[in-house]
Amino acid sequence: MHYTIDNITALIGARRFGSAEACIDWLLTDSRSLAFAETTLFFAIRTKLGDGHHYIPELYRRGVRNFVVGNVPANYETNYPDANFLLVVSPLKALQRLAERHREEYDLPIIGVTGSNGKTVVKEWLYQLLSPSMHVTRSPRSYNSQVGVPLSVWLLNEHTQVGVFEAGISQPGEMAALKAIIQPTIGVMTNIGPAHQENFATIQEKCLEKISLFKDADVIVYCADDAVISECMAVSLYTGDTIAWSTSNTDATLYIRSITKKADHTDIVYRFLGVENSMSIPFTDDASVQDSIHCLAVCLYLHLQPADIAQRMAQLEPVAMRLEVMQGVRGCTLINDTYNSDVTSLDIALDFMNRRPEQGNKPKTLILSDILQTGLPTTELYTQVADMIERRGIDRLIGVGPEISAAHALFNVKKVFFPTSDALTESGLLDTMSNEMVLIKGSRKFGFEQITAALSLRVHETTLDVNLEAIAENLNFYRSFMKPETKITCMVKASAYGAGSVEIAKTLQDRGVDYLAVAVADEGADLRRAGITTGIIVMNPEMTAFNTLFQYDLEPEVYSFKLLDALVHAAEKQGIQGFPVHIKLDTGMHRLGFNPLKDVPQIIERLKRQSAIVPRSVFSHFVGSDSPDFDEFSARQFQLFDEASQQLQRAFPNKILRHICNSAGIERFPERHLDMVRLGLGLYGIDPIDNRRLHNVTSLRTTILQIRNVPKGDSIGYSRRSFVERDSRIAAIPIGYADGLNRHLGNRNGYCLVNGQKAPYIGNICMDVCMIDVTGIDCKEGDTVEIFGDNLPVTVLSDKLDTIPYEVLTSVSNRVKRVYFQ
């Protein structure tokens, strides 16, 4: 389908301002992702967090000419010549409506996938299972929201033979819109669990809302053994066919006769319409078994042959959602995208790469394999890829595979091609790469692991995995308490609470935060050298580091007259004018700061005498905003601050930002946000009010080095502090107190997780290694061990250690490699 702006105006029922001709291929909702300006239609969507209309001037400058808006800009004819503005009541609804119209052009099997967990895995596995026989169009990654679903459905094209789209909801009423866009003919209900329960009265209500996606489908696949889903199916208005699979009901359309777990695979015997067959999947966990049976039901419904199904099931690949940023050799930065290779995910990865500012603009190299199973003719495919690479500013392409090599003439960047990954590795080219940003993206068949291994810096088996998406989600959580105009400072002190300040700062800068705050000047200088341009506050500026402040535009906190005078003196000596500073008042912490009752007139007087520095903000810090026990004291702190800061403001014509709330304050005292707030611990996934988990950001992981059997009565470790009271299996793991694993966790005071089960630390924790008791736990050498993270909250450790989560997070030592992913 090709759309002109005329078609689209009619399809979404808009009023058009402007009369330029245009063809539209791309729909855009996030200005940062722009690549193909001339053929892009931008939807200016308003959300709690922002307003797309603000980005119109910038997008126009970058070449976009077509906009769907809720308000037409003033004087659009003079300010935006050649642009079209399509005026609608709701740009979001217009986007959804356009996707709906687009969907209606296709009379194809469309699979809708919903449920609490496993949506993305089922969608990706259906892709793996079906794509050898037909051309599949599917949602990119986890695009399953009110915006993500329309953008996914827009990808349907003349080659598509089957579509697979996931739908996610977080509130009642959202499914109706997604149903109209996806119009599934085949529904898969994966399972129902507690996710997003806060907005629904009961789990049944949520389940029924999800099932409503399939009201008009031809068939629904679900597990009949799930009581909640079965009950909801019975009371729903659905009248079509079902494949309700069961492990107990022998009359079920799809009866699962046996599930047998082996060391590294699971055998499944099933009976469909009275005929018995079997398959094996290369996974043994319950979730994978359930997901694979959902996929089996869909394949059978689509008349795939049991032999083909079995053959493809045996080759299912794990679904990696990760875009990892890794430190590479010789100053390279690697972005490793292990997600399935296709055009859309390539574009998302290129976009991600472009959003990560780097020191001195490192040149960008893309290592790309043949892109398989797209159904597109190769010339068309690689013309698209070449265009994308050029638009996204790639400097050099390293192509691997016969197809991309054959298409070499299409690429207009520096380029080199190899038939296989081995040929690339043997060529020696990888050994010459230095100081580049390298995006590595290959279809699995090409075994790009060896390329990643050759380019990545390997330090230690123990890693701190940092989920950058979780940072963004936590930021949004706190923004949801804030007025849109309130500014936000994010604390990245102490290496971003242990997570590593550079990558976190990049993520936060990308999300448009107003300030970052570090402890000392050198931390700020590191961020500037890494390409961070957001304002930076230095909380504890050393007298010896003033030149660093001036050189890198780092704005100091000023908490005493001594510091104030020294700073003015140093700035004047360099001829600096109007350097912004942040005035700290001590309202009760008694740590650093001016006295709000006595010092303000003096501060005003000294600031007025000079012009080298200007007060940009004034702030204070609560001592106990996390607990109602201190509410009276917090109120007194606030009052002191309110009066003193107003007094300061009255003395100056320029606006002085006032701020006092930290994470807990943001949530508990919305009326005290003033002009700005300062977000710390909550950003890293822990709500300081009750230590509840938000989105987990960091996971400390290691691997089992060695396992030994120890007879009853023997002791483990230095000084014979622990004895085993039974014949035991003891594993050694490469993490010790020098990595930040607190010694007080030893001798069975704490535990880690091995394959989901608790393994207590036994014996004294050593410097680089410690021992854990894995008796009765199914595990082997090389298995992953979680010290804290997604499944073991860091607060479990801090409680055992009688400390606060801040201390555990910031104790992970620098030698532990940080791995960032999105």
Ligand X SMILES: *Cc1c(COP(=O)(O)O)cnc(C)c1O
Residues that bind ligand X (CB under 6 A): 491, 539, 621, 662-663, 678-682, 688
Instruction: State how far the Cα of 695 lies from the Cα of 667, in Å rounded to an integer.
Output: 16
Q: How far is the CB of 664 from ligand X (least distance, A)?
A: 6
Which residue, among 535, 366, 515, 384, has the nearest Cα to 451 in the 3D structure? 366
Q: How far is the CB of 643 from ligand X (least distance, A)?
A: 20
Which residue, among 278, 272, 286, 271, has the nearest Cα to 309 in the 3D structure? 278
3-state secondary structure of 490: strand
User: Which tokens belong to 57?
Assistant: 């001037």
User: Which tokens belong to 1?
Assistant: 């389908």
DSSP assignment of 73-119: PTTHHHHSTT-EEEE-S-HHHHHHHHHHHHHHT--S-EEEEESSS-H
Supply the DSSP symbol for 305.
-
Q: How far is the CB of 581 from ligand X (least distance, A)?
A: 15
Supply the DSSP symbol for 71.
S
On whether the CB atoms of residues 52 and 43 are closer than 8 A, the answer is: yes
User: Which tokens belong to 24?
Assistant: 């539209």
User: Which tokens belong to 102?
Assistant: 């687009």
Q: Which is nearer to ligand X, 508 or 735 (CB)?
A: 508
CA 473 vs CA 308, 477, 515, 563: distances in Å? 41, 6, 18, 38
Q: How far is the CB of 593 from ligand X (least distance, A)?
A: 9
Q: Which is nearer to ligand X, 443 or 495 (CB)?
A: 495
Instruction: State how far the Cα of 558 lies from the Cα of 561, in Å rounded to an integer.
Output: 8
CA 356 vs CA 495, 499, 511: distances in Å? 18, 17, 12
Q: How far is the CB of 685 from ligand X (least distance, A)?
A: 12
- Residues facing 189 on adjacent strands: 114
On whether the CB atoms of residues 517 and 539 are closer than 8 A, the answer is: yes
Q: How far is the CB of 679 from ligand X (least distance, A)?
A: 6
Instruction: State how far the Cα of 444 lies from the Cα of 215, in Å rounded to an integer.
Output: 37
Q: How far is the CB of 765 from ligand X (least distance, A)?
A: 27
Q: ∠ CA(174), CA(112), CA(248), 5° rounding?
A: 110
On whether the CB atoms of residues 418 and 435 are closer than 8 A, the answer is: no
CA 518 vs CA 326, 492, 521, 540, 586: distances in Å? 23, 5, 8, 8, 19
Q: Confirm whether 487 is a catalytic residue.
A: no
Q: Which is nearer to ligand X, 442 or 680 (CB)?
A: 680
Residue nearest to ligand X (CB): 680
Supply the DSSP symbol for 779.
-
Q: Which is nearer to ligand X, 596 or 688 (CB)?
A: 688
Q: How far is the CB of 539 from ligand X (least distance, A)?
A: 6
Q: How far is the CB of 619 from ligand X (least distance, A)?
A: 7
On whether the CB atoms of residues 724 and 773 are closer than 8 A, the answer is: yes
Residues in contact with 326: Cβ distance below 8 Å, sequence separation at least 6, in sequence order: 333, 334, 335, 336, 452, 456, 457, 819, 820
Q: Which of 414, 655, 718, 758 is catalytic?
A: 718
Q: Which of 493, 506, 584, 817 is catalytic?
A: 493
Q: Which is nearer to ligand X, 84 or 486 (CB)?
A: 486
Q: Confirm whether 718 is a catalytic residue.
A: yes
Instruction: State how far the Cα of 575 lies from the Cα of 587, in Å rounded to an integer.
Output: 34
Q: How far is the CB of 626 from ligand X (least distance, A)?
A: 7
Q: Which is nearer to ligand X, 184 or 593 (CB)?
A: 593
Long-range contacts of 693-697 (CB under 8 A, 24+ apart): 693/793, 693/795, 694/470, 694/473, 694/474, 694/477, 695/467, 695/469, 695/470, 695/473, 695/474, 695/477, 696/467, 696/470, 696/789, 696/790, 696/793, 697/466, 697/467, 697/470, 697/471, 697/474, 697/499
| Residues carrying an active site annotation | 493, 718
